[in-house]
Structures are given as C-alpha cells and as structure tokens.
Amino acid sequence: MVELSRLEIFLHAAEDLSFSEAAKNVHLSQPTISHHIQMLEHDLGVKLFDRGSSGLRLTEPGQLLLPWARKLIRESNEMQEMISSLQSQIVGFLRIACSTTTGKYLLPQLAARFHNRHPGVRIAILSCAQANVIPRLLNEEANLGVLSRETSGEGLECQEFFEDHIILIAPSNHPWAKQGMIEPADLLHAPFIMREASSGTRQVMAAALGKHDISVDGLDVFLEVANAEAIVEAVAAGFGISFVSRLAAACALEHGKVVEVPVVDLDLRRTIYMVRKDVENRSRAQDVFWRYVHDASNADLLQMAEA
C-alpha cells in the first residue's frame, strides 16, 4: 500500500523538480527524500523521475501519478478537517477563485474577519479569469468562486454576493469635473480607456450605452487595459476617461486624483455572485463561510461598492 507521506514528498519533488527543494519544504534531508522516492517507485513498480545531468524530469508514469497524488492528498486533508469539525472546532483550508476586481477588494477583508472568528481556517484567494472559475470548481482546485454572472446547472450552487456600482471617472482638472452631469452623447467626443472585451465591467457598460444607441465601437477608445487599478492611474494622469468599479476608484476619488462624472439616465450596476459545487460532502468550514458572507456584521463591507 502506498503511504500518503511518500505521495506528499513526491508532490513537492514533482512540482519543484528538485529533491533539495522538496527536502526544505518538508524539513527532511535530501538523502531521506531520495530514499522515500525510491521506495515509492518500488511500491508502484515504475520509475517516476529521470535523473540526468540537467536535473530531474518526470517520466510518463510520474506525469500520470501527479494529478492522482494531488487528489489523494487533498481528500486526506478534507477528511482530517471533517473529523476536527466533529469536535466543534471549525478548521480547514478554503480556496476561493475570484475573477472580479471588486471581489479582490472585498474578499481579503471578508476572509480576515472570518479567520478572526474561526482561527482554525486558512483561506487562499486565487485570482483568475472569469472563464476559469467554473473549471477550477469542477476540478476541485477551488472550493468557492466569485464571478460577475449568475450560473446554474453543471452541479453548481449560486448565491448573490453583493452589488457592484460602476461609475464614469475623469481627471480632476477635466472640464466635466465642474459640469455636474453630462449627456450620454458627450461620451462620443472624449478619449476613452477601456477594459478588455471579456471584462464584466465592459459588458455592463456596453449594454447600458446600447440603450442610448451608443456602441463601444463608436467611442474614441485609444487604450485597452486588463487592470482596473492601472486604468484609474492613467485617468488620474490626464490621459482619458473610463468606466470602472467605484471600489477600484475609491482611493483616487478620496484623494481628489479623479472625479466621478454622473451621466444622464446611466446607472450602471452589476450583481457579483458566489458559486460552489452542489455536493453533500462539503467541509464545515465551506458551509460556515458560505453563510457568513451575509452575516449582519458584514453589511458595512458589502455596501462599500455602493458608497
């Protein structure tokens, strides 16, 4: 029977392609690591690594073993978390895949508050593209996901997380800063900095402008940037205007580096969702966090996007 401890050593060695790095990570000597790998190879009857002058390389059996080893170690950890939870202590390791800028602002504070309440739970926030959130959940690389579209089916459960408010920002010395409010048609004559086409912010903006017979193609878009913070800085430097989440612009607004410009009949909001696999054997830590999101103590946090 294969020992889990040897599989864990194999994982470290396979991910670093170095016995010496694996030794540091698990606090063992390099000869001990080599011995455990040799014993694992003996138990399985295959060679897992090619040891050449250029370093370690996974063999084909080693590459096939890698995802199975990850799964077995993960399930072993989850089993230990379940047993610990039966003793009324909520413990575990939550991995949250997040694809939204606003989620990246709120999640760290929410996770920190949750950890203060349940010190036995560690949380990792995994930044990824929206298209990768669902695959990460289905492949069990993440326990929870945050994205800007509602999803159902595929064995998934979805709940509303918070409402994100998207605003138009301009440099503090822009003529619009003192104008008070502009018409949607005014947007056609200003240099625009835009999020990438797959961005939820851009999709909401495009849908809202479409109601005023304005297309993104009709705007003077001279720059596309796949980062809201970078866009805010570019606007603050005087290069153009942009639609961004109020959360992303909050600091620059507070310091007067940019201004919010109201647009007649243009109120851009989008709902951000939290999603997870709809299964029976979820860890207690995951269930408690799922409910904790809308705990009354977090009302101030969830309203930050509206403030």
pLDDT in tens, 157-204: 999 999 999 999 999 999 998 888 999 999 999 999 999 988 888 999
- Average pLDDT score over residue span 50-61: 83
Residue 243, SS3?
strand
At residue 205, the pLDDT reads 93
Residue 137 vs residues 4, 15, 173: alpha-carbon distances, Å: 24, 21, 45
- Give the residue extent of every domain in the chain: 4-84, 90-162+271-302, 165-269
Cβ burial, residue 126 (10 Å; 0-12/13-18/19+):
middle
CATH among 3.40.190.10, 3.40.640.10, 1.10.3720.10, 3.30.300.130 for 165-269: 3.40.190.10
CA dist., res. 190 & res. 170, Å (int): 10
Residue 87, pLDDT > 60, answer: no
- What lies within 8 Å, CB to CB, of 202 at 6+ separation is 194, 195, 196, 216, 243
**Cα within 13 Å of Cα(95), Cβ side:** 15
Residues 6+ apart with CB under 8 A from 103: 146, 161, 272
Number of Cβ atoms within 10 Å of the Cβ of 276 = 20
- Considering only CA atoms, which of 172, 179, 174, 176 is closest in space to residue 255? 172
CATH topology of domain 4-84: Arc Repressor Mutant, subunit A (1.10.10)
Give the global pTM.
0.67
The more confident residue out of 112 and 100 is 112
pLDDT at 96 over 80: yes
User: What mean pLDDT is reported for the chain?
Assistant: 87
- Is the CATH code 3.40.50.300 the one for domain 90-162+271-302? no
Within 13 A of 260's CA, how many CA atoms are on the CB side?
A: 20
Indicate if the pLDDT at residue 86 is higher than 70.
Answer: no
User: DSSP assignment, residue 147?
Assistant: E
Q: What is the pLDDT of residue 107?
A: 92
Are the beta carbons of 144 and 126 closer than 8 angstroms? Answer: no
Separation between Cα atoms, residue 216 and residue 9, nearest integer Å: 52
Q: Do domains 4-84 and 90-162+271-302 have the same CATH topology?
A: no
In the numeric block, the tokens 């805010």 are attached to: 232
